[in-house]
Amino acid sequence: MDWVTVVSLFAIIGVVMLIAAGRELGQRRAFVRQSATASGTIVALTENREGEEISYFPKVKFQSASGRVITFESGMGSRSDAERIGQTVAVRYRTDQPAFAEIDSFMSLWGKTLTFGVLGAAFLFVGVGILIGLIPT
């Protein structure tokens, strides 16, 4: 593969990631607008091992406005077990489907969008920058 192909792939990957970020942003904004909040309690931490890396995903229990008790596992884990079992956290959930819930924190709600956006912008910048001569090869 020549360098133009590789650099073009960087730009294409950047565009695809920015599109993914835009879709994720739209979905998250709709979720936040249409969701209700509640107070939840961390009832467990699920440990996920990948090689020597360990991530902890909190399992949260809360009661919806209709009185239904829901338990869900957060999609956002952390490298430390800083969150403790018994800790109270704010929860955001869909009123029509309370099982679709997430901890109401910036990273839990916007982390994936931010990651796609930053990586997409970086890939696009490098790809286009090299192609048009802003970044020397």
Element (H, E) at 112: helix 106-131
The separation between CA 78 and the C-alpha centre of its own chain, rounded to angstroms, equals 12
| Predicted local distance difference test score (pLDDT) of residue 103 | 95
| Residue 66 identity (one-letter amino acid) | S
pTM for the full model?
0.79
| Predicted local distance difference test score (pLDDT) of residue 136 | 66
Nearest to 103 by CA among 87, 83, 89, 85: 89
Burial class (CB in 10 A: 0-12, 13-18, 19+), 61: middle
pLDDT-derived band at 137 (thresholds 50, 70, 90) equals low
pLDDT greater than 70 at residue 81: no
CA distances, 71 to each of 7, 20, 26 (Å): 45, 28, 26
The neighbouring-strand residues paired with 115 are none
Comparison of pLDDT for 107 and 136, the residue scoring more: 107
User: pLDDT tens-digit profile of 4-17?
Assistant: 788 889 899 999 99
| Predicted local distance difference test score (pLDDT) of residue 129 | 84
